[in-house]
Amino acid sequence: MTHTQATGLFISFEGIDGAGKSSHIAALAQAFRDAGRTVTLTREPGGTPLAEKLRALLLHEAMDPLTEALVAFAARRDHLVQVIEPALARGEVVVSDRFTDATFAYQGAGRGFDWEKLQILERMAQTGCAPQADLMREPDLTIWFDLPAAVAAGRLAGARVPDRFEAQPQDFFAAVADGYARRCAAAPQRFARIDANCSREAVWQQVADVLVARGYLPGESGAAA
């Protein structure tokens, strides 16, 4: 089904650090604009003044896994209330660099924090924001950039000064990748797995094909990554 101007659409980009997802987000946003859609481009943690402050704490201050999860969901709740839900209500396309799957992958699989407790926090933070009081807001589509941890580590080497997640060892990112795979297996209808271990052009073509196949973009999308 093709989404109309009046229908909001929520897309998240996910993947371990170094997967290359961020380089395609602007291209996707432009493809939607070229198709006549209004786009809200945002990120997590972050997206609001409060959530950006929480992001700085999360990326640079030492804390235990439960505190990490609580800070992430606090930022997410503010993001939903202040940015995501209003944009969807206006019929916009919301494209977010990460959302809840990242918390399950990083704090759940990476840090080893209890998966069921994360699910409780997910329901608490993401329910009651939408016009439907009992709806737990999730992305309509999650584009998962799947890349072996060893390849991601090579891409990150020599990059900017890493934050405390980027500085983690390779086995941490292998666990994070497993966390994404677990989330994908639990919600295959929401996820689109992208093989990120190929050229930038080939990765973009996979992304474009997914959006066209789902009727979110017209065929022959001309945006380039």
Residue 163, pLDDT score:
61
Q: What per-residue string of b and e applies to 66-97 under the rule 16 or more CB within 10 Å gives b?
A: eebbbbbbbbbbbbbebbbbebbeeebbbbbb
Nearest to 189 by CA among 120, 139, 136: 139
CATH placement of domain 9-214: 3.40.50.300
| Whole-angstrom distance, CA of residue 180 vs CA of residue 105 | 5
Output the pTM of the full model: 0.90
The annotated binding site for ATP is made up of 15-22
Residue 151, pLDDT score:
81
| Whole-angstrom distance, CA of residue 151 vs CA of residue 43 | 24
Spatial strand order of the sheet with 9-14 comes to 39-43, 93-97, 9-14, 141-146, 191-195
| Whole-angstrom distance, CA of residue 75 vs CA of residue 163 | 18
Residue 22, pLDDT score:
82
Residue 221, pLDDT score:
54
What are the pLDDT tens digits along the chain (225 aa)?
444 445 899 999 999 877 678 889 999 999 999 999 999 999 999 999 999 999 999 999 999 989 999 999 999 999 999 999 999 999 999 999 999 999 999 999 999 999 999 999 999 999 999 999 999 999 999 999 998 877 866 666 665 556 656 666 778 888 999 999 999 999 999 999 999 999 999 999 999 999 999 999 998 655 444
The annotated binding site is made up of 15-22
| Whole-angstrom distance, CA of residue 138 vs CA of residue 122 | 10
